[in-house]
Amino acid sequence: EVQLLESGGGLVQPGESLRLSCTVSGFDLSHYAMTWVRQAPGKGLEWVSSISAGGRSRYFADSVKGRFTFSRDNSKNTVYLQMNSLRADDTAIYYCVKGGNTTWSGLDPWGQGTLVTVSS
Amino acid sequence: QSVLTQPPSASGTPGQRVIISCSGSDSNIGDNYVYWYQHVPGTAPKLLIYRNNQRPSGVPDRFSGSKSGTAASLAISGLRSEDETDYYCASWDDSLSGWVFGGGTKLTVL
C-alpha cells in the first residue's frame, strides 16, 4: 500500500524557517516525481512545488519562488520542503503528493497533510 | 483567482445527476490531462478521475469525467448524501510549468 507521511509542521513567527518532510512507503521513490500542495484556511488547493524523479528539475509557484526549496533523498524514502522567510499567507495545511514518472503525469495519492501556522 | 474556473457551489437532490464544470486555457486543459479530486476538509484529497475520463479502481461508476477543448466536467449521477463535500479539478500548465487547480466546488445534497 502506498503511504505518504508528512511531518515538520508547526507554529513559527514571520520571517522564520521550517522544513517539512514527507516519508513514503509502498513504492520506489526514485521512479516518481513528487509535489507539495497547500490549502490555506477557508481557501482552495494551491500547488506549491514539484520535483522530478531524478531531482534535476524543480518547479515552484510564484508565491514561494526564491523562498522555498524542494529536495529529495531517495535512499531515505523522503522528500523535503525547506521554507524560508515565512509569511502569514504561508499558513496552510501542506500536502505531500505522489506524482507519476514525470512532474505532469498525475497527483495521487496524497498524504494527510501537516499544518504550518505563521503568526507572531 | 484560480487559473481553472469552477462554480463555487452546486446542489442536487438524492438520486439526481449533477455536473461540475472546469474551464481553462490552451496551456493547461487544452494541452494536458484533467484530474478531479474529492476533498473532505481535514482529510487527504481523493482522486476521482484521472486522464480526463478514467476512474481509479474503487471509485463508483456514478462518477464520470469528460473534456472538450479547454473545458472539462465532472458528472455525478445517483447523488447520495455522502457526496456532499468539495470537488477540485486540476491540470498541468505548460506556460506556468506547474499544476493549476480550480477554486473548488462545494456540492450540497438537498
pLDDT digits (tens, 9 = 90+) for B61-87: 999 999 999 999 999 999 999 999 999
- Cell 484521472: give the residue: B50
Residues 51-90 of chain A whose Cβ lies under 8 A from any Cβ of chain B: 59-61
The pLDDT of residue B42 is above 90: no
Average per-residue pLDDT in chain B? Answer: 97
Give the pLDDT of residue A89: 97
Contacts of residue B106, defined as CB under 8 A and 6 or more positions apart, other chains included, come to: B8, B9, B10, B85, B86
Mean predicted confidence (pLDDT) in B14-33: 98
B-chain residues near A108 (CB < 8 A)? 35, 47, 50, 56
Chain B residues in contact with A44 (beta carbon < 8 A): 2, 88, 101-104
Averaged pLDDT, B94-98: 96
Confidence label for B8 from pLDDT (cuts 50, 70 and 90): very high
* Under-70 pLDDT residues of chain A: none
pLDDT of residue B90: 98
Beta bridge partners of B37: B47, B88
Model pLDDT, residue A101: 86
Mean of pLDDT values over B37-66:
97
A42-47's contacts with Cβ under 8 Å and 24+ in sequence apart are A43/A92, A44/B2, A44/B88, A44/B101, A44/B102, A44/B103, A44/B104, A45/B37, A45/B39, A45/B45, A45/B88, A45/B90, A45/B101, A45/B104, A46/A92, A46/B101, A47/B98, A47/B99, A47/B100, A47/B101
Specify the pLDDT at position A103.
85
pLDDT score of A104: 87
- Taking the CA of residue B40 and the nearest CA in chain A, the distance in Å comes to 11
Residues of chain A neighbouring B45 (CB-CB closer than 8 A)? 45, 95, 110
Judged by CB atoms closer than 8 Å, whether chains meet at B45 and A95 is answered as yes
Question: In the sheet where A78-83 sits, what is the strand order?
Answer: A3-7, A18-25, A78-83, A68-73
